[in-house]
């Protein structure tokens, strides 16, 4: 599957600034022009906050089997559980407090999404910079590999890997990293090639600075903008992909479910009248992905000079 | 040109080789199908016979070499479950998947290009903003969840469309198709819409980006100054120019549709090859899994090839020899 | 919206009316697709259920598995210790018009016995037996030792026509699986004829007008649609696309029982869900102390500990909550009505304080840690049952972790994932459906001492071993007299489960079918979905 980088691969060269604003201030003022984007950014922050502090925020520990009991199974939102606590969003098929389950599930989903994106980004940046800077043979071999991988849909590659490796968090994470690194590599290489021909790199070379230093101190900061855009979109994409793989029954184990596996479990209850089991995790997933994507979309508009008005 | 095609095919062969080894060894480690297929009543002797009958008693490298030898002669092995050639099983299911994917592609293009052009021509209108936000939804909503919701709404609550399966089929050129009858179309509609949503969003965004870019170019301004009618500008000049990226991406994405039909087919019980793959994974039917992936890889190579050739026709500046193989 | 809903309901009503007008054809939405139309290809529930409608068997189970009914045989008896005589039905014709005689049965028996390829053969039922033709309508089946289960075994052998021409070759009497799959060889004597199989989608059967035998033919045409996804199957019924679905998920039963568009029928099955415990290793890999460190002693080897665990399990809560009331508490291997049960044994009551005392008496009063392993796509609510058991044990002083996995990974590991192909896990959830319809099959496979050469204890994943029980069981297996055999089987059960607690039975699975109103499915005990059992009310 493709991320929409119909233009993200194109470099955003550092522009000459207008007025006295610093680039960052201008970025902020550009970004906040879209109200939807601002709201989405806040939602994303809130979601990350919830995921990070899940154990403190969640009313109960959904994985503690000494508290969870099937006696609490499929209770409607607002019902009181055996432990005396109120299940604000009801309970799921195993008697877990759904709200707590969702908060912990969000943590897993987001962890996998962001974790895989960050590792893939790191790999992609290194590989992409090497390709751009080394050029020649190295470049063509790397890019052939990248092109080859990108010509296959992510879901297919993830599927092959998970069929090969089996289920589990670590394996899903690994599969998502393998699926994503090539996007970053291509993006970084594209941007870096443009940057490389610029004068400041040439002068750095003339100064006989080490290759690593040039790569790290000079090239890298300048390819950051398109990376941020691709990274945001990829994170959302990875979360959705994990959910889909869990739905197909080849992603995560079900005992400590991610949002995706919660939805997939809830799918079983869709005709039962226990609407909350599938609807709430579905909405949570939806909010997460949509808001990340909206932020990413705005970032692209702001960071990409070609489409700026 | 010939060199180009040969290089591509060699590349495909390498991918297939690598992947078949990966999948072959992976499935070998995970489990063996006899444990799930054999009846509870069978004793150890029966079990061993069944394992031997499938060739699973041999060490891994022998199994793999045997597979390779046969594969080179075009025989991808027999399904453990059906004991029929795996290749045949998949080809049998292929028309259903292709029909679904083509229909979804058609929907994405027919709806996506006009919507995207509109959003590109009047970027500040409410309609444009709704279209763009809608396209983000199209990207964000996981296919399986939308499928379930559609099924609940249109089949169970409203009763407009059948919930699952493929409708009546008839044969055209020896292929079973279902779009020739009303019953068939009714069955096709929901899965096709479900599958197309993602690509629809993609086409909208591509057309919008293309339109926005083209509209400021000199030759459009020139045409306008010359007094060419607005409709003609849009239909001829703009459309023609946004077709290049759209055709490229659509071509490439057709493979994506085929791959993603795995999800849609699972939700809607559509008897295509994607559903066969998921069923085969559940039953560890290794020959079918490997054969499916082999076919898909070749399919992709062919699609990429066709796209590159089309691309060179649409845009004379691109020459095949120069493209990376 | 409300307008649309009304139109929608009208559409549903219209579908139902048209369905009623064409009442002679039935559409059945079923979960599992057969893997072949070849009756000896694969000894698998869906195959045996589907093909039993096309092919005849000498003997068949009644729908409740409480007795045998005559199909192609009209009567059978043991004429001496090692010979069974079957009298065959006269005047029966195959779908192609040819006559059914003893030759067809012998041809079928030989093909089943010598079948090569396929996934699991029917040799289980033909092994050690030889068939003799006495006349066109009498056969003798001879064994070396007395063999009481002969009629039960014959419920598994389907009869094909010896005249059918297949694609040739020397193997399997010249008939290949594909000859059956495309219909050329799919010629039986059953009440329905094969029409078309669209793999992954549907199978069509048509009424056979020349049928002679005890089975009903309620429909002119039956279409089986294969819908694996559970919500999709329910949706298909609610949308009026099919007249009946099988394997109704327990989660939907509550809502469907109130839905006027649907009527439900359910029946207890021959499948018991139980727990197996490692009784053969001194250091068991998934038994730990309470904080998760390995133990050098295995508490599960002590029958008192196993009994205590059984007492900690609240079976009422599992049945009411996890199974939504659709299951029956189990105290032994088969539910009431089946042969070879013990009348003395009852399901263990929930007794946490009794469990504590027993644990203390066994020297494990402080408890220990466990991991329960189970499949998550094999039995009804399997993963949830594992969770519930773990919750109950954790609350009662045995902190238990849960690990569930898909059946394609689980069974290999549970049977032979450990060193030297030993069972990998310490505490597992499994189910067993008795194909012979009585308790010797589970006793032999689950509780008898594991011995590959004798074919005993093949699925004994806890390696329970008690020579006393083995002796009683072996005696039962060689006793032709029903009453005496029943007593022996009951006694073996009392030793294996009652005294040793070799396994912990949890519940018997109950299967549920849902139909349109006006139709009724006569629920079967063998978990099979057979179109003949779908009738108009």
Provide the terminal-to-terminal Cα distance of chain B, rounded to the nearest Å. Answer: 10
- Residue A240 maps to a domain: yes
Smallest CA-to-CA distance from A248 within A164, A181, A163 is with: A163
Give the per-residue pLDDT at C57. 95
Residue of B nearest to A153 (CA): B256
Q: Is residue A128 part of a domain?
A: yes
> What pLDDT is stored for residue B319 in this prediction?
53
pTM for the full model? Answer: 0.84
CATH number at residue A213: 1.10.3720.10
Shortest CA distance from A271: residue in chain B? B152
Pairing assessment for the beta strands C519-521 and C534-536 based on DSSP bridges:
antiparallel
Report the C-alpha gap between C515 and A54 in whole angstroms. Answer: 45
User: Could you tell me if residue A16 is inside a domain?
Assistant: no
Q: Of B103, B190, B96, B199, whose CA–CA distance to B147 is shortest?
A: B190
Q: Which residues of A touch C383 (CB under 8 A)?
A: 254-255
Taking the CA of residue A96 and the nearest CA in chain B, the distance in Å comes to 22
Quick check: helix, strand or coil at residue A204? helix
Are A229 and A121 within 8 A, CB to CB?
no
Partners of residue A274 in chain C, C-beta under 8 Å: 251
Q: What is the pLDDT of residues B278-300, one digit of tens each?
A: 888 888 888 898 888 888 887 88
State the average pLDDT for chain B.
Answer: 81
Question: In whole angstroms, what is the distance from residue C331 CA to residue C345 CA?
Answer: 6
Residues C377 and C406 sit within 8 Å (Cβ to Cβ): yes
- C101: closest CA among C84, C111, C89, C113? C89
Q: What is the pLDDT of residue B81?
A: 81
Q: Is residue A229 part of a domain?
A: yes
Dihedral sign for Cα atoms in the order C199, C204, C208, C212: positive
Per residue of chain C (537 residues), give pLDDT as tens.
344 434 444 444 444 444 444 458 999 999 999 989 999 988 888 899 999 999 999 999 988 888 899 999 999 999 998 999 999 999 999 999 999 999 999 999 999 988 887 666 788 889 889 999 999 999 999 999 899 999 999 999 999 999 888 887 788 888 888 899 989 999 999 999 999 998 888 999 999 999 999 999 999 999 999 988 888 898 889 888 899 999 998 888 988 998 888 999 999 999 999 999 999 999 999 999 988 899 989 999 999 999 999 999 999 999 999 998 999 999 999 999 899 999 999 999 999 999 999 999 999 999 999 999 999 888 999 989 999 999 999 999 999 999 888 888 888 889 888 888 899 999 999 999 888 888 999 999 999 999 988 888 989 999 999 999 999 999 999 998 889 999 999 999 999 999 999 999 999 999 999 999 889 999 988 889 999 999 988
- Compute the nearest-CA separation of B130 from chain C (Å): 22
CB within 8 Å: B324 and A271:
no
Which residues form the domain of C407?
269-510
Asked whether residue A178 is assigned to any structural domain, the reply reads yes
- Is A53 an 8 Å CB contact of chain B? no
Nearest Cβ partner of C254 from A70, A249, A272?
A272
Taking every pair of Cα atoms in chain A, the longest distance, rounded to a whole number of angstroms, is 74
Hey, how many other C-beta atoms are within 10 angstroms of the C-beta on C85?
17
Give the span between the Cα atoms of B322 and C8, in whole angstroms: 58
Q: Does B8 touch chain C (CB under 8 A)?
A: no
Report pLDDT for B316.
60
Q: What HEC string does B261-296 produce?
A: HHHHHHHHCCCCHHHHHHHHHHCCCHHHHHHHHHHH
- What's phi and psi for B247, nearest 5 deg? -65, -45
Q: What is the DSSP letter of C419?
A: G
| Orientation of helix A224-247 relative to helix A154-165, angle to 10° | 60
> Cα C64 to chain center, whole Å?
13
Count of domains forming chain A: 1
C221: enclosing H helix or E strand: strand C221-226
Half-sphere exposure of residue C371, counting CA atoms within 13 Å on the CB side?
17
How far is it, in rounded angstroms, from Cα C502 to Cα C445? 12
Beta bridge partners of C427: C277
B184: closest CA of chain C, how far (Å): 13
User: Please, are residues A259 and A43 in contact by the beta-carbon 8 Å criterion?
Assistant: no
Burial class (CB in 10 A: 0-12, 13-18, 19+), C301: middle
Q: How many CB atoms lie within 10 A of CB A221?
A: 11
DSSP C42: B
Helix (H), strand (E), coil (C) string for C176-217: CHHHHHCCCCCCCCCCEEEEEEECCCEEEEEECCCCCCCCCC
CA-based nearest distance C321→chain A, Å: 6
- Cα Dmax for chain B: 88
| Residues in A 64-123 with any Cβ partner in B closer than 8 A | none
Distance CA C419, CA C437 (A): 34
Residues in contact with C423: Cβ distance below 8 Å, sequence separation at least 6, in sequence order: C278, C414, C415, C416, C417, C461, C462, C463
Residues 6+ apart with CB under 8 A from C165: C174, C184
Residue C2 lies in a domain: no
Choose, out of A62, A63, A64, A65, the residue to mutate when testing the contact with C (most C CBs < 10 Å): A65
A6 and B209 within 8 Å at the Cβ level: the answer is yes
Tell me what pLDDT residue C2 has: 42
Query: What is the total count of domains within chain C?
Result: 2
Mean pLDDT over the full length of chain A: 81
pLDDT in tens, A114-164: 999 999 999 998 898 888 878 788 888 888 888 878 877 888 888 888 877
User: Which residue in chain A has the smallest CA separation from C229?
Assistant: A268
A226 in Cβ contact with A233 (< 8 Å): no
> Across the interface, which of B35, B46, B50 has its CB nearest the CB of C412?
B35
Residue C89 DSSP code = P
Contact B241, B214 (CB under 8 A): yes
Question: CB-based contacts of C280: which residues, under 8 Å, 6+ apart?
Answer: C301, C422, C462, C463, C465
C4 domain-assigned: no
Residue among C530, C334, C327 at smallest CA distance from C437: C334
The pLDDT value recorded for residue B21 is 84
Given A6, A156, A249, which is nearest B245 (Cβ)? A6
Q: Is the CB of residue B84 less than 8 Å away from at least one CB of chain C?
A: yes
Backbone dihedral angles phi then psi of residue C266, each to the nearest 5 degrees: -145, 155
Asked whether C187 and C161 are in contact (CB, 8 A), the reply is yes
Confidence label for B322 from pLDDT (cuts 50, 70 and 90): very low
The pLDDT value given to residue C27: 94
Dihedral sign for Cα atoms in the order A267, A270, A271, A273: positive
Q: Which of B32, B39, B189 to mutate to test the interface with C (most CBs of C within 10 A)?
A: B39
- Beta-carbon neighbour count of residue A169 at 10 Å? 17
Q: Which of A95, A167, A271 sits opposite C234 (nearest CB)?
A: A271
What is the DSSP annotation of C227-276?
--SHHHHHHHHHTTS-SEESS--HHHHHHHHH-TT-EEEEEEEEEEEEEE
Contact B260 A263 (CB under 8 A): no
Q: Which one of A196-205, B207-216, B236-245 scores highest in mean pLDDT?
A: B207-216
Alpha-carbon distance A181 to A127, whole Å?
9
Residue B223 Ramachandran class (φ > 0 left, ψ -120 to 50 alpha, else beta): alpha
Same domain, C178 and C293: no
- The reply to whether C186 falls in a domain is yes
Contacts of residue C293, Cβ cutoff 8 Å, sequence gap at least 6? none
- Domain B87-318 is classified in which CATH homologous superfamily? MetI-like (1.10.3720.10)
Residue C428 and residue C309 share a domain: yes
Q: Residue C178 maps to which CATH number?
A: 3.40.190.10
- Nearest C-alpha neighbor of A189 from the set A116, A127, A122, A119: A127
Can you tell me the distance from the alpha carbon of A309 to that of B26, in angstroms, rounded to the nearest whole number?
51
Ordered mean pLDDT values, 10 residues apiece, chain A (309 residues): 40 45 77 85 93 91 86 87 87 89 92 92 90 84 84 83 81 91 87 74 73 70 79 88 85 75 81 83 89 86 56
Q: Tell whether the torsion through CA atoms of C305, C306, C308 and C309 is positive or negative.
A: positive
Rounded-to-integer distance, Cα C266 and Cα C508, Å:
13
Return d(Cα C314, Cα C329) in angstroms, integer: 10
Q: Express each pLDDT in B157-182 by its tens digit.
A: 788 888 877 877 777 777 778 887 88
Q: Are residues C118 and C179 in the same domain?
A: yes
Give the CA count within 13 Å in the CB-facing half-sphere of B270: 35
Q: What is the mean pLDDT of residues B219-236?
A: 76
A164: which chain C residues are within 8 Å (Cβ-Cβ)?
Answer: none
Q: Does A273 touch chain C (CB under 8 A)?
A: yes
Residues 252-281 of B with CB under 8 A from A: 252-253, 255-256, 259-260, 262-263, 266, 277-278, 281
Cα C473 to the chain's mean position, in Å?
22
DSSP B238: I
Is residue A276, in this structure, part of any structural domain at all?
Answer: yes
Please give the pLDDT value at position C134: 95
Domain that holds residue A287: 49-63+89-308
- In chain B, domain spans: 2-71, 87-318
């Amino acid at each position: 599957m493709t991320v929409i980088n119909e233009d993200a691969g194109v470099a955003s060269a550092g522009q000459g600034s207008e007025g006295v604003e610093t680039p960052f201030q201008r970025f902020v003022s550009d970004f906040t022009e879209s109200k939807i984007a601002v709201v989405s950014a806040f939602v994303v922050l809130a979601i990350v906050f919830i995921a990070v502090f899940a154990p403190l925020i969640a009313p109960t520990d959904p994985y503690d089997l000494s508290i969870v009991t099937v006696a609490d199974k499929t209770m409607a939102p607002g019902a009181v559980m055996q432990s005396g606590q109120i299940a604000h969003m009801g309970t799921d098929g195993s008697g877990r407090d759904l709200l707590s389950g969702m908060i912990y599930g969000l943590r897993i989903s987001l962890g996998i999404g962001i974790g895989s994106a960050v590792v893939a980004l790191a790999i992609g940046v290194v590989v992409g910079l090497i390709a751009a800077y080394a050029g020649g043979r190295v470049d063509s071999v790397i890019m052939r590999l990248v092109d080859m991988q990108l010509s296959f849909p992510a879901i297919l590659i993830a599927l092959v890997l998970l069929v090969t490796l089996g289920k589990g968090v670590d394996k899903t994470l690994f599969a998502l990293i393998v699926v994503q690194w090539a996007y970053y590599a291509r993006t970084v290489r594209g941007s870096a090639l443009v940057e490389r021909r610029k004068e400041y790199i040439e002068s750095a070379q003339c100064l006989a600075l080490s290759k690593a230093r040039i790569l790290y101190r000079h090239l890298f900061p300048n390819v950051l903008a398109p990376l941020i855009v691709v990274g945001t979109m990829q994170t959302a994409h990875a979360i959705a992909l994990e959910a889909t793989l869990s739905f197909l029954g080849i992603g995560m184990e079900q005992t400590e479910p991610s949002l995706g596996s919660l939805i997939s479990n809830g799918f079983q209850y869709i005709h039962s009248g226990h609407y909350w089991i599938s609807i709430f995790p579905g909405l949570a997933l939806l909010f997460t992905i949509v808001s990340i994507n909206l932020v990413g979309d705005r970032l692209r508009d702001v960071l990409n000079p070609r489409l700026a008005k | 040109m010939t060199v180009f095609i040969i290089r591509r095919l060699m590349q495909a062969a390498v991918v297939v080789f690598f992947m078949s080894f990966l999948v072959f060894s992976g499935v070998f480690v995970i489990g063996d199908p006899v444990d799930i297929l054999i009846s509870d009543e069978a004793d150890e002797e029966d079990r061993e016979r069944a394992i031997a009958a499938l060739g699973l008693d041999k060490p891994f490298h022998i199994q793999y070499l045997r597979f390779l030898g046969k594969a080179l002669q075009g025989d991808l092995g027999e399904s453990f479950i059906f004991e029929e050639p795996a290749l045949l099983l998949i080809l049998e299911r292929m028309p259903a998947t292709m029909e679904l994917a083509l229909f979804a592609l058609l929907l994405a293009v027919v709806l996506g290009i006009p919507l995207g052009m509109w959003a590109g021509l009047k970027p500040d209108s409410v309609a444009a903003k709704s279209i763009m936000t809608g396209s983000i939804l199209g990207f964000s909503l996981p296919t399986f969840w939308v499928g379930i919701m559609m099924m609940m709404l249109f089949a169970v609550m409203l009763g407009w469309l059948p919930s699952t399966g493929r409708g009546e089929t008839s044969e055209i050129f020896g292929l079973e198709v279902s779009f020739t009858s009303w019953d068939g179309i009714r069955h096709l509609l929901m899965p096709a819409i479900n599958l197309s949503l993602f690509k629809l969003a993609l086409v909208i965004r591509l057309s919008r980006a293309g339109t926005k870019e083209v509209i400021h170019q000199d030759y459009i301004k020139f045409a306008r100054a010359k007094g060419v009618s607005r409709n003609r500008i849009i239909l001829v000049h703009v459309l023609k120019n946004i077709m290049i990226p759209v055709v490229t991406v659509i071509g490439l994405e057709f493979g994506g549709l085929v791959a993603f039909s795995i999800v849609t087919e699972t939700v809607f019980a559509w008897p295509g090859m994607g559903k066969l793959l998921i069923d085969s994974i559940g039953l560890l039917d290794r020959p079918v899994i490997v054969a499916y992936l082999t076919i898909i890889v070749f399919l992709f190579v062919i699609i990429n090839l066709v796209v590159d050739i089309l691309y060179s026709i649409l845009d004379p500046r691109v020459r095949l020899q120069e493209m990376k193989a | 919206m409300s307008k649309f809903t009304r139109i929608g309901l009208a559409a549903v009503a219209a579908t139902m009316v048209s369905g009623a007008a064409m009442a002679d054809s039935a559409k059945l939405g079923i979960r599992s697709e057969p893997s072949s139309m070849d009756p000896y290809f694969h000894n698998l529930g869906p195959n045996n259920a589907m093909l039993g409608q096309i092919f005849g068997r000498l003997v068949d189970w009644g729908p409740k598995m409480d007795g045998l009914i005559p199909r192609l045989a009209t009567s059978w008896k043991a004429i001496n210790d090692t010979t069974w005589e079957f009298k065959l039905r006269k005047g029966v014709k195959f779908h192609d018009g040819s006559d059914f005689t003893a030759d067809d049965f012998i041809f079928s028996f030989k093909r089943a016995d010598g079948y090569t390829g396929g996934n699991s053969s029917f040799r289980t039922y033909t092994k050690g037996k030889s068939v003799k033709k006495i006349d066109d309508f009498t056969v003798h089946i001879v064994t070396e030792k007395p063999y009481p289960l002969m009629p039960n075994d014959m419920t598994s052998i389907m009869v094909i026509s010896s005249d059918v021409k297949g694609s040739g070759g020397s193997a399997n009497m010249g008939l290949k699986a594909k000859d059956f799959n495309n219909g050329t060889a799919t010629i039986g004597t059953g009440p329905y004829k094969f029409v078309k199989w669209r793999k992954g989608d549907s199978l069509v059967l048509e009424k056979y007008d020349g049928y002679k035998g005890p089975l009903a033919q309620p429909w002119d045409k039956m279409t089986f649609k294969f819908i694996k996804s559970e919500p999709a199957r329910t949706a298909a019924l609610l949308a009026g696309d099919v007249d009946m679905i099988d394997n109704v998920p327990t989660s939907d039963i509550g809502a469907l029982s109130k839905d006027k568009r649907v009527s439900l029928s359910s029946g207890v099955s021959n499948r018991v869900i139980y727990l197996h415990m490692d009784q053969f290793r001194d250091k068991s890999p998934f038994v730990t102390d309470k904080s998760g460190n390995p133990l050098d002693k295995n508490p599960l080897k002590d029958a008192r500990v196993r009994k205590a665990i059984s007492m900690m399990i609240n079976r009422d809560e599992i049945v009411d909550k996890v199974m939504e009331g659709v299951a029956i508490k189990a105290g032994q291997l088969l539910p009431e009505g089946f042969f070879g049960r013990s009348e003395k044994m009852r399901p263990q009551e929930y007794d946490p304080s009794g469990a504590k005392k027993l644990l203390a008496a066994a020297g494990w009063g402080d408890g220990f840690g466990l991991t329960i392993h189970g499949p998550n796509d094999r039995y009804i609510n399997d993963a949830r049952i594992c969770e519930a058991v773990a919750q109950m044990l954790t609350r009662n002083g045995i902190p238990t972790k849960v690990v569930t996995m898909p059946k394609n990974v689980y069974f290999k590991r549970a049977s032979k994932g450990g060193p030297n192909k030993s069972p990998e896990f310490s505490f597992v959830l499994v189910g067993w459906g008795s194909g012979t319809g009585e308790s010797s099959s589970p006793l032999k496979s689950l509780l008898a001492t594991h011995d590959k050469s004798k074919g005993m204890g093949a699925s004994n994943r806890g390696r329970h071993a008690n020579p006393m029980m083995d002796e009683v069981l072996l005696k039962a297996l060689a006793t032709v007299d029903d009453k005496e055999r029943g007593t022996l089987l009951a006694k073996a059960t009392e030793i294996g489960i009652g005294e040793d607690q070799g396994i912990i039975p949890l519940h018997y699975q109950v299967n549920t079918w849902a139909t349109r109103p006006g139709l009724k499915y006569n629920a079967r005990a063998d978990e099979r979905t057979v179109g003949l059992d779908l009738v108009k009310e």
